[in-house]
Chains A and B, each alone.
Chain A
Amino acid sequence: GENVEQHPSTLSVQEGDSAVIKCTYSDSASNYFPWYKQELGKGPQLIIDIRSNVGEKKDQRIAVTLNKTAKHFSLHITETQPEDSAVYFCAASNSGNQFYFGTGTSLTVIP
Protein backbone atom coordinates (compact mmCIF):
# COMPACT_ATOMS: atom_id res chain seq x y z
CA GLY A 1 0.00 0.00 0.00
CA GLU A 2 0.88 3.68 -0.09
CA ASN A 3 3.31 5.15 2.45
CA VAL A 4 3.48 8.92 2.94
CA GLU A 5 6.33 10.45 4.91
CA GLN A 6 6.30 14.07 6.05
CA HIS A 7 9.11 16.31 7.32
CA PRO A 8 9.80 18.14 9.52
CA SER A 9 7.53 17.19 12.40
CA THR A 10 7.94 20.65 13.96
CA LEU A 11 8.89 23.95 12.35
CA SER A 12 9.36 27.40 13.85
CA VAL A 13 9.77 30.51 11.70
CA GLN A 14 9.84 34.23 12.29
CA GLU A 15 6.85 36.18 11.10
CA GLY A 16 7.36 37.21 7.49
CA ASP A 17 9.73 34.34 6.69
CA SER A 18 8.86 31.38 4.47
CA ALA A 19 7.99 27.87 5.62
CA VAL A 20 8.48 24.68 3.60
CA ILE A 21 7.05 21.26 4.44
CA LYS A 22 8.03 18.20 2.41
CA CYS A 23 6.31 14.88 1.76
CA THR A 24 7.31 11.75 -0.10
CA TYR A 25 5.07 8.95 -1.32
CA SER A 26 5.74 5.40 -2.45
CA ASP A 27 2.91 4.43 -4.83
CA SER A 28 3.44 5.68 -8.37
CA ALA A 29 -0.32 5.27 -8.97
CA SER A 30 -1.08 8.15 -6.57
CA ASN A 31 -2.35 11.10 -8.58
CA TYR A 32 -3.98 13.53 -6.15
CA PHE A 33 -2.17 15.35 -3.33
CA PRO A 34 -4.12 17.58 -0.93
CA TRP A 35 -2.74 19.63 1.94
CA TYR A 36 -4.75 20.25 5.10
CA LYS A 37 -4.43 22.74 7.96
CA GLN A 38 -5.66 21.68 11.38
CA GLU A 39 -6.17 24.12 14.22
CA LEU A 40 -6.40 22.99 17.81
CA GLY A 41 -9.61 21.11 18.57
CA LYS A 42 -10.83 21.34 14.97
CA GLY A 43 -10.96 19.07 11.96
CA PRO A 44 -8.48 19.45 9.08
CA GLN A 45 -9.37 22.02 6.42
CA LEU A 46 -8.19 21.77 2.82
CA ILE A 47 -5.84 24.63 1.92
CA ILE A 48 -4.50 23.58 -1.47
CA ASP A 49 -4.28 20.49 -3.65
CA ILE A 50 -2.50 19.36 -6.78
CA ARG A 51 -3.04 16.61 -9.34
CA SER A 52 -0.33 14.60 -11.01
CA ASN A 53 -0.69 16.34 -14.37
CA VAL A 54 0.50 19.64 -12.83
CA GLY A 55 3.93 20.51 -11.46
CA GLU A 56 3.04 23.56 -9.39
CA LYS A 57 -0.01 25.37 -8.09
CA LYS A 58 -0.23 28.67 -6.23
CA ASP A 59 -2.94 30.39 -4.22
CA GLN A 60 -1.86 33.75 -2.81
CA ARG A 61 0.81 33.00 -0.15
CA ILE A 62 0.52 29.22 -0.48
CA ALA A 63 2.06 27.06 -3.19
CA VAL A 64 2.51 23.35 -3.75
CA THR A 65 5.08 21.69 -6.00
CA LEU A 66 5.06 18.11 -7.23
CA ASN A 67 7.93 16.02 -8.58
CA LYS A 68 6.41 12.77 -9.89
CA THR A 69 9.75 11.28 -10.86
CA ALA A 70 11.14 11.65 -7.35
CA LYS A 71 7.72 11.02 -5.75
CA HIS A 72 7.78 14.06 -3.55
CA PHE A 73 5.66 17.16 -3.09
CA SER A 74 6.10 20.25 -0.96
CA LEU A 75 4.03 23.01 0.62
CA HIS A 76 5.45 26.52 0.56
CA ILE A 77 4.03 29.32 2.69
CA THR A 78 5.47 32.78 2.09
CA GLU A 79 5.24 35.90 4.27
CA THR A 80 4.11 33.81 7.22
CA GLN A 81 1.71 35.29 9.76
CA PRO A 82 0.88 34.20 13.33
CA GLU A 83 -2.46 32.86 12.13
CA ASP A 84 -0.57 30.37 9.95
CA SER A 85 0.42 28.56 13.17
CA ALA A 86 -1.27 25.13 13.06
CA VAL A 87 -0.61 21.49 12.19
CA TYR A 88 -0.31 20.77 8.48
CA PHE A 89 -0.93 17.37 6.88
CA CYS A 90 -0.11 16.14 3.41
CA ALA A 91 -1.99 13.27 1.80
CA ALA A 92 -1.91 11.12 -1.32
CA SER A 93 -4.74 9.37 -3.16
CA ASN A 94 -4.88 7.10 -6.22
CA SER A 95 -8.46 7.64 -7.45
CA GLY A 96 -9.67 4.73 -5.34
CA ASN A 97 -11.17 7.19 -2.86
CA GLN A 98 -8.65 6.13 -0.25
CA PHE A 99 -6.36 8.74 1.25
CA TYR A 100 -3.02 8.22 2.94
CA PHE A 101 -1.81 10.90 5.33
CA GLY A 102 1.55 12.08 6.51
CA THR A 103 2.20 12.36 10.25
CA GLY A 104 1.80 16.13 10.34
CA THR A 105 3.99 19.22 10.82
CA SER A 106 3.39 21.57 13.72
CA LEU A 107 4.17 25.07 12.42
CA THR A 108 4.77 27.94 14.84
CA VAL A 109 5.09 31.47 13.50
CA ILE A 110 6.89 33.69 16.01
CA PRO A 111 5.68 37.31 16.02
Chain B
Amino acid sequence: DGGITQSPKYLFRKEGQNVTLSCEQNLNHDAMYWYRQDPGQGLRLIYYSQIVNDFQKGDIAEGYSVSREKKESFPLTVTSAQKNPTAFYLCASTMTGAFSQPQHFGDGTRLSIL
Protein backbone atom coordinates (compact mmCIF):
# COMPACT_ATOMS: atom_id res chain seq x y z
CA ASP B 1 0.00 0.00 0.00
CA GLY B 2 1.20 3.50 -0.78
CA GLY B 3 1.69 5.90 2.07
CA ILE B 4 3.97 7.80 4.38
CA THR B 5 5.90 6.09 7.14
CA GLN B 6 7.25 8.01 10.09
CA SER B 7 9.59 6.51 12.65
CA PRO B 8 10.00 6.17 15.50
CA LYS B 9 6.52 6.67 16.94
CA TYR B 10 7.98 7.90 20.25
CA LEU B 11 11.36 9.53 20.80
CA PHE B 12 13.12 10.92 23.84
CA ARG B 13 15.86 13.53 23.70
CA LYS B 14 18.47 14.25 26.31
CA GLU B 15 19.85 17.70 27.00
CA GLY B 16 22.31 18.79 24.30
CA GLN B 17 21.47 15.90 22.01
CA ASN B 18 20.48 16.01 18.35
CA VAL B 19 17.80 13.56 17.25
CA THR B 20 16.60 12.62 13.77
CA LEU B 21 13.03 11.80 12.79
CA SER B 22 12.52 9.64 9.73
CA CYS B 23 9.94 10.19 6.99
CA GLU B 24 9.63 7.91 3.96
CA GLN B 25 6.96 7.96 1.23
CA ASN B 26 6.25 5.58 -1.63
CA LEU B 27 3.62 7.76 -3.31
CA ASN B 28 6.07 9.21 -5.83
CA HIS B 29 5.23 12.68 -4.52
CA ASP B 30 7.54 15.56 -5.33
CA ALA B 31 6.82 17.78 -2.34
CA MET B 32 7.38 16.86 1.30
CA TYR B 33 6.73 18.81 4.49
CA TRP B 34 7.45 18.78 8.21
CA TYR B 35 4.95 20.24 10.66
CA ARG B 36 5.02 20.69 14.38
CA GLN B 37 1.75 20.25 16.28
CA ASP B 38 1.23 21.70 19.75
CA PRO B 39 -2.11 21.67 21.59
CA GLY B 40 -4.38 24.47 20.44
CA GLN B 41 -1.96 25.75 17.79
CA GLY B 42 -2.78 23.69 14.75
CA LEU B 43 0.00 22.67 12.38
CA ARG B 44 3.02 24.93 12.01
CA LEU B 45 5.37 24.48 9.05
CA ILE B 46 9.02 23.75 9.89
CA TYR B 47 10.53 22.96 6.46
CA TYR B 48 9.32 21.90 3.06
CA SER B 49 10.92 20.55 -0.09
CA GLN B 50 9.48 20.59 -3.59
CA ILE B 51 12.32 18.76 -5.29
CA VAL B 52 15.33 16.63 -4.45
CA ASN B 53 18.33 18.57 -3.08
CA ASP B 54 16.24 21.67 -2.44
CA PHE B 55 14.26 22.79 0.62
CA GLN B 56 12.89 25.96 2.16
CA LYS B 57 12.38 27.18 5.70
CA GLY B 58 8.88 27.38 7.06
CA ASP B 59 7.58 29.58 9.86
CA ILE B 60 9.46 27.88 12.72
CA ALA B 61 12.70 26.51 11.20
CA GLU B 62 15.05 27.67 13.98
CA GLY B 63 16.62 24.72 15.80
CA TYR B 64 15.73 22.24 13.04
CA SER B 65 17.52 20.95 9.93
CA VAL B 66 16.50 18.74 7.01
CA SER B 67 17.94 17.03 3.96
CA ARG B 68 16.37 15.77 0.73
CA GLU B 69 18.88 13.47 -0.93
CA LYS B 70 16.23 11.09 -2.26
CA LYS B 71 12.73 11.76 -3.54
CA GLU B 72 11.16 9.33 -1.09
CA SER B 73 12.97 10.48 2.05
CA PHE B 74 12.88 13.73 4.05
CA PRO B 75 14.49 13.33 7.51
CA LEU B 76 14.17 16.03 10.15
CA THR B 77 16.91 16.68 12.73
CA VAL B 78 15.92 18.40 15.95
CA THR B 79 19.12 20.04 17.16
CA SER B 80 20.16 21.03 20.66
CA ALA B 81 19.46 24.62 19.64
CA GLN B 82 15.72 23.85 19.76
CA LYS B 83 15.04 24.60 23.42
CA ASN B 84 11.43 23.45 23.48
CA PRO B 85 11.29 20.35 21.26
CA THR B 86 8.45 18.54 23.03
CA ALA B 87 5.70 18.21 20.43
CA PHE B 88 4.01 15.93 17.92
CA TYR B 89 5.82 16.03 14.55
CA LEU B 90 3.99 15.30 11.32
CA CYS B 91 5.43 14.62 7.89
CA ALA B 92 3.33 15.13 4.76
CA SER B 93 3.69 14.86 1.01
CA THR B 94 1.80 15.94 -2.09
CA MET B 95 1.99 16.00 -5.84
CA THR B 96 3.14 19.29 -7.35
CA GLY B 97 1.54 20.90 -10.36
CA ALA B 98 -0.54 23.79 -11.56
CA PHE B 99 -3.19 23.13 -8.93
CA SER B 100 -2.75 22.20 -5.29
CA GLN B 101 -3.38 18.57 -4.43
CA PRO B 102 -4.30 17.03 -1.06
CA GLN B 103 -1.52 16.41 1.38
CA HIS B 104 -1.01 12.90 2.71
CA PHE B 105 0.20 12.63 6.30
CA GLY B 106 2.15 10.08 8.28
CA ASP B 107 1.05 9.04 11.77
CA GLY B 108 3.56 11.27 13.49
CA THR B 109 6.43 11.08 15.95
CA ARG B 110 5.95 12.24 19.52
CA LEU B 111 9.15 13.79 20.84
CA SER B 112 9.74 14.37 24.54
CA ILE B 113 12.73 15.62 26.50
CA LEU B 114 14.23 13.65 29.36
Query: Which of B11-19, B39-47, B63-71, B78-86 contacts the other chain?
Result: B39-47
Q: Contacts A44-B105, A103-B40 known; A97 to B94 CB distance under 8 Å?
A: yes
- The smallest C-beta distance from B27 to any residue of chain A, in angstroms, reads 13
A103 to B38, CA, bound (A): 10
How big is chain A's contact interface, by range? 20 to 34
Please give, as numbers and ranges, the residues of chain B lying within 8 Å of A51 by CB-CB distance: 99
Q: Contacts A97-B50, A98-B48 known; A41 to B107 CB distance under 8 Å?
A: yes
Q: Are A104 and B107 in contact (CB under 8 A)?
A: no
User: A45-57 vs B: 1/0 string, CB under 8 Å?
Assistant: 1100101000000
B21: interface (CB < 8 Å) = no
Chain B interface residue count, Cβ-Cβ cutoff 8 angstroms: 25
A110 to B10, CA, bound (A): 31
Q: Are A34 and B42 in contact (CB under 8 A)?
A: no
Q: Are B43 and A89 in contact (CB under 8 A)?
A: yes
Please give, as numbers and ranges, the residues of chain A lying within 8 Å of B104 by CB-CB distance: 46
Please give, as numbers and ranges, the residues of chain B lying within 8 Å of A93 by CB-CB distance: 100
Q: Contacts A41-B108, A42-B107 known; A98 to B102 CB distance under 8 Å?
A: no
User: A29-49 vs B: 1/0 string, CB under 8 Å?
Assistant: 001101010000111111001
- Give the contacting residue for A95; candidates B6, B31, B100; CB below 8 A: B100
A49 to B50, CA, bound (A): 22
- Give the contacting residue for B42; candidates A43, A94, A102; CB below 8 A: A102
- The smallest C-beta distance from B19 to any residue of chain A, in angstroms, reads 19
A9: interface (CB < 8 Å) = yes
Which B residues have a C-beta under 8 Å from some C-beta of A? 4, 6, 31, 33, 40-43, 45, 48, 50, 90, 92, 94, 96, 98-100, 102-108
Lowest 9 CB-CB distances: which A-B pairs, in order?
Answer: A43-B105, A32-B100, A93-B100, A103-B42, A101-B43, A101-B42, A46-B102, A43-B107, A44-B105
Given contacts A36-B105, A46-B103, A51-B99, 14 further A-B contacts (CB under 8 A): A31-B99, A31-B100, A42-B107, A44-B43, A44-B90, A46-B104, A93-B100, A95-B99, A97-B31, A97-B96, A98-B48, A99-B33, A101-B42, A104-B42
